[in-house]
Each structure stands twice: as structure tokens, then as C-alpha cells.
Amino acid sequence: MDPSFRKKWGIMFTAVIMMLVLLIIRTAIDLLGFDTVPITTVVGAFITGAIFTIAIIFTGTFTDFKESEKVGGDLAASLKALYNDSRVLPLADEAPARVFRTHLRNLLHTIRDGLLENRFSLAEVNRDLNVLNGDVRTLAYQNLAPPLVAKLRNELGLIDKTCNRIEVIIRTDFIPAAYALAEVATSGVILLMLFIKMDGLFESTILFAVICTMLIGLLLLIRDMDNPFEFGPTTYADVDLETLVFLETYFDEQDAIMAETPPTKA
């Protein structure tokens, strides 16, 4: 299945399958005459309130998800800035800068591969950052101007801050009580819809299918959006990390340009 098609329709497909199972149960209840709950204003208010509650929880989760989408671009911008800064440092010996760029690539691999393979480790990131901090110390001993040293440290600090944010998002869940409330509301509406007495088989089937599919789909989406850094065939709401994926290509292109450029002395 095409990845973009799966990402767009995967949750809907799962929700429809679950709805069809419930529809079979609903049909059996209807045939046995157990659909005895009349449609009243109280029932309508309950269904409306449940949908409204789930929508509020979805809005909160969506806000966190949109914030997480910025992570890939922020990391890529900091890594690119560090790489480009290392190319223009006024050094008599270019060796420390080359070592710095090598370690910067290692940090990129640790972050990118850890996220895409669902094994992100803050401890590994910290080890790579410590190595880069040592490189900055070496550059300082090469009489690099203090403002340039401070700029390198500032970018490393931003990367550290962003990676800590990623770790917190992966490790923690959205408000557990909110999930419990959403699950109870969805279960309550579906249970009520199973026993509601509605005239007209076609009309009742359409109404049941639409409401159940919407509620189940929203609940599945909220669950999936809770960890936007979880990638795989069974996840659908993932942040875009293409900027990190293409960053190594950018590094390779810049290395090729540097190899063709005659070296200059500070």
C-alpha cells in the first residue's frame, strides 16, 4: 500500500472495520427486538456532549502535535548552522574543525536513526554532545574568538534543549484522565446507539455508521497523536523528519564543494 494513502486513510479504514462489527451486533439487537431506548432530547444531549468532550481532547492533543512538528526543522537548522560555522572559522589548522564536523555527523545519525527506528536515547545524544563540547574546548585553545565559541555553545545548547523535549514527549502520555474520559464517552455513546429504537432500517444504519465511525476514528487518532515520534506501519500521525533525512545529503554536497575549493590560510 502506498505510504501516503495509508497515512491518510489507515485510521479511517480501521474505524470502519470496527464499526462494521458493531453494526452486526446492532442488527442482531434490532432483529431480536432489544432496541427499546427511545430517542429523546436527553439522549440527543448526551451524544452531543460526548462528541463535544472528545473534540476538546482532540484539540489539546492536536496543539501538542503541531508543536512537535517544529522539532525536525529546529534540529536541522541548528545542525546546519554548526556545520556551516565550522567551515568559516578563522583557524590556522583546519584539523579541529574537520573533527568537529565528523562528530556533528555522528550526532545527526544518533538523533535521526534513533527517531526513525523508535529507539531514541537521550543518553546516546548526551554522549555525542559531550564529544562536541570537547571539540569546542579544543577550538577555544586554538585561540578562536570568544563570540564564535559562545555561538557554537549556544547552538549545542539548543540541540540539547530540543532533544530533552523529544524525550519528554516520547516518555509521557497526554493527560491520562482525559483519555479515560474520552474512552468512557465513546463507549457510552456506542452502547446507547446499540439499543436506541429508530424507525427505518436504512436511516438507522446510516446514522449508526456515521456516529460510530466518527467517534472511533477520533479516539484512534488521539491515541496515535499522543506520541508523534513513533514510526512504523501501524502509526499514522507522525511528524515529518525529512529535513533531518536530507541533511546528510547537504553535508555531502558541502564537503564536495570544500574539496574543490583551494585551502586558504588564516
pLDDT digit string (tens) for 107-162? 999 999 998 888 899 999 999 999 999 999 998 888 888 888 899 999 999 999 99
Domain ranges of the chain: 3-67+189-225, 71-172+241-260
Which amino acid belongs to residue 76? A
Fold that domain 71-172+241-260 belongs to in CATH: de novo design (two linked rop proteins) (1.20.1440)
In contact, 168 and 67? CB cutoff 8 Å: no
What pLDDT, on the 0 to 100 scale, is given for residue 78? 93
- DSSP per-residue string spanning 92-159: S--HHHHHHHHHHHHHHHHHHHHHHTT---HHHHHHHHHHHHHHHHHHHHTT--HHHHHHHHHHHHHH
255 vs 120, more confident: 120
Q: Cβ neighbours of residue 246 under 8 Å, at least 6 residues apart?
A: none
pLDDT digit string (tens) for 168-192? 888 877 677 777 888 888 888 899 8
Confidence of residue 2 (pLDDT cuts 50, 70, 90): low
pTM: 0.79
Strand partners, 196: 37
Average pLDDT, the chain: 85
The number of residues in the chain equals: 266
What pLDDT, on the 0 to 100 scale, is given for residue 3? 65
pLDDT digit string (tens) for 80-94? 999 998 888 887 778
Which amino acid belongs to residue 114? G
What pLDDT, on the 0 to 100 scale, is given for residue 136? 93
Winning range, highest mean pLDDT, from 39-48, 62-71, 86-95, 139-148: 139-148
1 vs 173, more confident: 173
What is the mean predicted confidence (pLDDT) over 219-227?
83
